[in-house]
Structures are given as structure tokens and as C-alpha cells.
Structure 1
Amino acid sequence: MEGQPSEKKSTVRAVERSLDILMCFVDETELSLTEIAKRIALHKSTVFRLLHTLEQKGFLIRNPETEKYRLGYRIWELSSNLMGLNDPATLLLPEMEQLRDLLGETISLYVRDGYERIRIQSVEGNQSIRRVAPIGARMPLSVGASSKILLAYEDLITKESLLKQLETLYGINTNLFKQLLEKIKQNGYATSFEERETGAAAISVPIFNRSGKLVAALSVSGPINRLTLTKMKEMVPILKETALNMGKKVR
């Protein structure tokens, strides 16, 4: 039995490192051994062994010509199980496409994960100049219209805990943020102007399921010259009605 704790620790570390490698592909399509090793700050020999295992298991594919790696088909097999009957990203896509066709701007769905929000679905606008909204992108809860929605409708204890941590991480003014979140709950929507990205604006509303639980934030985003405050306010009734209809489809 001697040596078991050390062996277990080594195994866990290998798993963590393998997951770190996979997370490198959140914002990149292909990466070389050198690029991956640099991103996760490990020696290339260690990364090579992990890459070989991930390739053998089908989680990565190596291009023999460029010697770069990309995500393998095993990832898609796993993700297909995520797209269940009650998955908002799949279930609400038709309504998102209809909303895009009506408004012409990029439509996104966000959920909270810890102190960040994740874009779980997006439909790009049909304008020549539009927001590109990659699925899976993570953003801090301290900025953005959808972040405010996800915070505003949290329960009091969770909200207090999140705000306290966001104050530590990003230096937000907790008291002012609380006042803003209360106003958002009264209005039923949130807006943002160049909070995270220069030249970009967004408006977001909450989606509640049939039990009244917040399941996602529905967001419309685009260039600030098109998404003016006046234009956003005109969208509010449409967004609220769409969110209401969406919520009826989610358990």
C-alpha cells in the first residue's frame, strides 16, 4: 500500500494537465506542441505524452502536415449528450433565429458559472457589420448587460457572496452595483455601452422556466451606433415577450 498517495496525486495532476490542454482550444482551432506547452507552462516532453494519450483516446487530432492539434470527434460525441431535450442552447435556438431575423442583430444566451458568464448559444446578426459571438466564451460578471441580469435575479445570499467576490476581483463598488441591480429588477432588463468592448452595446432580459427559476439571460448585441438607448427601449417589449415564450419551453 506504500506509495499510493503519491501515485494518486500524480494521476490527479495528469488529469488536471490534460484538461488544461483541452481548455487551450476554447479560443483556438489548431495549436502546436510548442504553443500548448507555452500556454499551460509545462515542459514540451510532458505535454507531448499527454497529447499522445488524448490523441489515442480521440479527444485530439494531429495534422501530420502542420503537426498541429485540433479537437477530436470524441468531444462532439460527449457534447451531443449535453444537447438534451431540456437544454436551453438547443431548445431555444429557433426562437433566437426568429428574433435575429426580426431585429437584425446578434442574439446570445448566457448562463452563470461561478464569477463568470458563459455564452451557451448565439445567432449572428444579418447586418454587414455585426458582433461575432463565439459559443463557449467566458466573460466576468462585473460587466455587460447579461452579467447584470444573471446577478440581479439571484437569491439574496448568493448575490451578496458574488458581489463581495467581484469587489475583490474587479474593484466594483458594491453599494452602487446593488442599487443598479435593484433598478434592473424593477425594469426587467439591463443595458451596457462599451463596458467590455469598445464600440459595442447590448441589452439583456431574463428567461425564467415554468417553475419561475432563472435559467438564462437573453441578449441582443451590436455596434453602439445602431443599438442606441432609444432603439433598445423600443426592443424591450419584443424581448420580454420572446423570453416569456422561451421560458414556457424549459423545465
Structure 2
Amino acid sequence: MSGVMERTLALLERLAEDVRGVPLATLSDELDIPRSATHRLLADLAALGYVRQTRERGDYVLTTKLVSLGLNYLKHSGVVDLCQPILDRLAETAGELVRLGVVDVDHITWVALSQGARAGLRYDPDMGLDVKLSCTSSGHAWLATLEEDDAIALLTRQGLGKPPEYGPKAPATIAAVMKAVAQARRQGWALTLETYAPGLSALSTPIRPAGRGAVGVLAISGPTVRLSEERLRALVPELLAAAADIAHVSAASPLFDRAYNRVG
């Protein structure tokens, strides 16, 4: 890996994966950056307040400065203020996790959630991650709003999520994914059972303001022992109504202005 900017961002992304800290040698080996260069970049990031060394072992960890930047960005985007009440109502109705993903041209990132499960098994994923398009209901729901060639191009670029890395029922070919996408297109929503992770079910629909492309996705997800296919189908009307509510207010936030747009 070469280039100061590329290396610096790679270090930040790797540190974001482990809140307990990562040794310098591990960062150097995993990212293929010489140890002297790794040390120099980490020293620069530390001087700027983005990383620090732990007292116990000297491992490097992110500070909260980067987190604060992201939270501040979301705050000023207006997304949370606009959408949180809608997410909370849907989560209360479903009794499961509800998440909002925002389209950023060629990918979707989770930006807000509401946990409706009060007891028993809970699905509590990390926020800020990009949606895996091939094996999630949200990926299928969004791809269903695009031209088939564009959907295939995005799938190919991101790659397929196959078992055993993902769920046992994850589609293993582009054709299998596109079959699920076609069904989502016909229905206006997508349903998956154990495609992203074992024992996980999900239901998603795109957020489409009038006259515009999809600007986001809305998803309900939780343990398959509670969220059977029958239960998910029963939640479709509530999901679609909530997505329509978000679409109605989306014009008030610039974060909802990044729908996919084919170039060329």
C-alpha cells in the first residue's frame, strides 16, 4: 500500500474495527505498510488527537475525536431529528430492531436505529457500516430500484457475501441475487431469512420521494425464532407506511440528496 492519504485512512479504518487497540506490528503487517512509516503516520495522527497509545501495552486506539466528527455531521444533517420519531414508532410496533440506511451514490450506510426488542434475544449490530448488497434485504430492496445493468455492476464491484462468512442461505451467484432483486422489484419490499447471518431475518423497503430515485432504505431485523416469514409479511404495511413518512420529510435533509445516478 502506497500514498500517505491511502495509508492514513487505512490505519483509521483498521483501528475502528477494534476498540481495545491494535499493536503497531499488527497494523504494519496487515496493511502492508513498513513499520517505520506506520509509526510515523500514527505519531502524526496522535499529534492531531485522532489516536493514542494505551498505557497497558502501548497498542494504538482511536480517540473519540473521529466519532465526534461523525456524530456532529449527522446532527447537522438533520436526519436524526427528522427520522428518529418514525423509527421509534415502527420499532415499538415491530418489537424488533429498526434501522435507517442512507444512499450515498453507490453504497448505503446505516445512520440511525431504534431497538424495539425489550427482552430475550436482541440483534444489536454496529452502526456506520455499509450494507452488504448481495445477502441483505436492504441491499435487495435498493438494487430493485436500479436498472439491472447498474445493479449487477454494483454487485460485482462490492463482491458477493457467501457462506460461511455470511448466512447459510446467502445467494452464491449473481444470478441468484438478481432473482431475489426481481422479486423485491415486483413487491416493493424484500425479505431475507438467514442470508446475512445464521438465525437472522430481515424485511426492508426503499425510501423513494416522489419523482426521485431511492435515497435510503428502512429495515426491520431480528432473530428468526421471532421473525418468521409469516411475521415479517404481517409487518409489511407498517414498514411501507414508515418509509413513506420518511420519504415525505426527506427533502429537509441534504443527506437524502445522494441517490444513485448513472454516469455515462
Q: TM-score range by the shorter chain?
A: 0.7 to 0.9
Distance in 1, matches of 2:59 and 2:243, equals: 42
Bigger helix share: 1
Contact 1:108 1:133 in 2 (8 A): no
Superposed, which structure 2 residues align to 1:69-108 within 5 Å?
69-83=60-74, 85-88=76-79, 91-108=82-99
Superposed, which structure 2 residues align to 1:223-234 within 5 Å?
223-234=223-234
Q: Deviations over 1:220-244 (max 9, x none)?
A: 1111111101101110000000111
Moved over 6 A (4+): 166-171
Distance in 1, matches of 2:28 and 2:159, equals: 33
**Is there any run of 5+ residues in structure 1 with no aligned partner, and where?**
1-9
Bigger strand share: 1
Partner of 1:247: 247
How many residues align structurally? 241
Partner of 2:144: 152
Q: Deviations over 1:155-182 (max 9, x none)?
A: 4442242355568897854445434323
Distance in 2, matches of 1:56 and 1:118, equals: 29
Q: 1:87 to 1:40 in 2, by over 3 A?
A: farther
Q: 1:56 aligns with which of 39, 47, 60?
A: 47
Distance in 2, matches of 1:41 and 1:85, equals: 37
Q: CA RMSD in A?
A: 2.9
Q: 1:24 to 1:205 in 2, by over 3 A?
A: same
SS of structure 1 residue aligned to 2:52 = strand
Superposed, which structure 2 residues align to 1:14-163 within 5 Å?
14-31=4-21, 32-83=23-74, 85-88=76-79, 91-111=82-102, 117-124=108-115, 125-163=117-155
Q: Percent identity?
A: 22
Distance in 1, matches of 2:81 and 2:53, equals: 30
Partner of 1:220: 220
Q: 1:22 to 1:188 in 2, by over 3 A?
A: same
Q: Residue 119 of structure 1: CA displacement? A: 2.5
Q: Deviations over 1:167-212 (max 9, x none)?
A: 8897854445434323212211111111121111111111123543
Distance in 2, matches of 1:35 and 1:164, equals: 30
Distance in 1, matches of 2:220 and 2:37, equals: 43
Partner of 1:184: 184
Q: 1:169 to 1:191 in 2, by over 3 A?
A: closer
Q: Residue 114 of structure 1: CA displacement? A: 7.9
Distance in 1, matches of 2:159 and 2:127, equals: 27
Q: Residue 73 of structure 1: CA displacement? A: 4.1
Contact 1:209 1:248 in 2 (8 A): yes
Q: 1:143 to 1:79 in 2, by over 3 A?
A: same
1:13 pairs with 2:27: no
* Higher Rg: 1
TM-score, length-scaled by structure 2 = 0.78
Higher relative contact order (CA closer than 8 Å, sequence separation 6+): 2
Contact 2:135 2:161 in 1 (8 A): no
1:201 pairs with 2:204: no
